[in-house]
């Protein structure tokens, strides 16, 4: 009885129990030509107010929200939930090279949820000295050629009992997350805009032939204000 609906309601718990990691959601806001920012790096705002309201609701439903160092530097996001009555997720930045300022808003914005910086083992001591305080935790994950192993990171989040994690970019983190097989739902907010020269939504996936492209199943579409929200399940 209503199996699909029940699975959707419990998708986070099911992922943690069966895959020993949280349910991963990758959210991207882009133009019709697949850009998440202009050539200058400006990205505010590609999506509509209605789309951003949905993202804030998702933040309130997730245990953590994750961004890459590039996004943290370019946008300086707070990553809080601004839905009335909503709760903040833990704010996580993946930064193998310690490029993000310790004064970034995600580290200094007061929140009961706190923040985490994920880096490599070789940078752990330096990172703790630079970032760690009562608000910010620093953790190390194994890496390959300077790239954080996101599967190891999600396994750690699973050990903490987390059920849902929202990835909000940028382009290189999106590619790494998809290639790592930790994304269970892809959510693309597509705005009726054409940017031209700009930053692609996903950058760094080594797909040499179209037949090797990552495929998406169970694709759905709905209007959100002037935008389209496309959701689907990446196939491993």
Give the pairing of strands 147-148 and 143-144: antiparallel
With respect to residue 3, please indicate whether it lies within any of the assigned structural domains.
no
pTM over 0.85: yes
132-143 pLDDT per residue, tens: 888 999 999 988
Specify the pLDDT at position 60: 92
In angstroms, the Cα distances linking 43 to 105, 168, 201 are: 17, 13, 11
Residue 86's domain is classified under what CATH number?
3.40.430.10
Q: With CA atoms as reference, report the closest residue to 227 among 73, 7, 30.
A: 30
71-121 pLDDT per residue, tens: 899 889 889 888 888 889 999 999 999 999 999 999 998 888 899 999 999
With respect to residue 1, please indicate whether it lies within any of the assigned structural domains.
no
Q: With CA atoms as reference, report the closest residue to 182 among 10, 25, 12.
A: 25
Higher pLDDT among residues 205 and 23, named by residue = 23
Give the pairing of strands 35-38 and 64-68: unpaired
Angle, CA 83 vertex, CA 155 and CA 234 arms, to 5°: 40
- Phi/psi of residue 226, each to 5°? -85, -5
167-211 pLDDT per residue, tens: 997 889 999 999 999 999 999 999 999 988 888 888 888 788 888
With respect to residue 173, please indicate whether it lies within any of the assigned structural domains.
yes
With tokens 């300022």, the residue in question is: 101
With respect to residue 222, please indicate whether it lies within any of the assigned structural domains.
yes
With respect to residue 4, please indicate whether it lies within any of the assigned structural domains.
no
Higher pLDDT among residues 26 and 75, named by residue = 26
Domain interval for residue 93: 9-234
| Cα 148 to Cα 160: distance, rounded to the nearest angstrom | 19
Q: Give the total number of structural domains in the chain.
A: 1
How crowded is the C-beta side of 128, counted as CA atoms within 13 Å? 7
147-178 pLDDT per residue, tens: 899 999 999 999 999 999 999 978 899 999 99
| Cα 170 to Cα 159: distance, rounded to the nearest angstrom | 25
With respect to residue 2, please indicate whether it lies within any of the assigned structural domains.
no
| Cα 132 to Cα 139: distance, rounded to the nearest angstrom | 10
With respect to residue 175, please indicate whether it lies within any of the assigned structural domains.
yes
């Amino acid at each position: 009885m209503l199996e699909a609906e029940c699975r959707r309601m419990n998708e986070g718990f099911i992922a943690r129990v069966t895959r020993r990691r949280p349910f991963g959601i990758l959210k991207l806001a882009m133009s019709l030509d697949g850009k998440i920012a202009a050539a200058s790096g400006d990205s505010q705002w590609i999506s509509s107010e209605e789309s951003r309201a949905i993202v804030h609701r998702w933040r309130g439903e997730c245990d953590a929200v994750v961004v890459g160092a590039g996004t943290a530097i370019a946008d300086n996001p707070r990553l809080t939930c601004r839905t009335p009555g909503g709760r903040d997720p833990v704010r996580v930045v993946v930064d193998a090279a310690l490029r993000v300022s310790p004064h970034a808003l995600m580290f200094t914005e007061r929140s009961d949820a706190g923040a985490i910086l994920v880096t490599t083992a070789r940078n752990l001591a330096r990172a703790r000295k630079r970032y760690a305080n009562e608000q910010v935790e620093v953790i190390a994950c194994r890496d390959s050629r300077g790239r954080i192993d996101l599967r190891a990171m999600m396994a750690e989040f699973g050990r903490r009992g987390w059920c849902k994690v929202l990835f909000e970019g940028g382009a290189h983190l999106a590619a790494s997350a998809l290639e790592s097989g930790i994304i269970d739902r892809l959510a693309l907010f597509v705005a009726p805009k054409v940017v031209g020269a700009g930053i692609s939504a996903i950058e760094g996936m080594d797909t040499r032939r179209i037949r090797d492209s990552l495929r998406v199943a169970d694709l759905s579409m709905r209007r959100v204000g002037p935008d389209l929200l496309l959701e689907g399940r990446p196939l491993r």
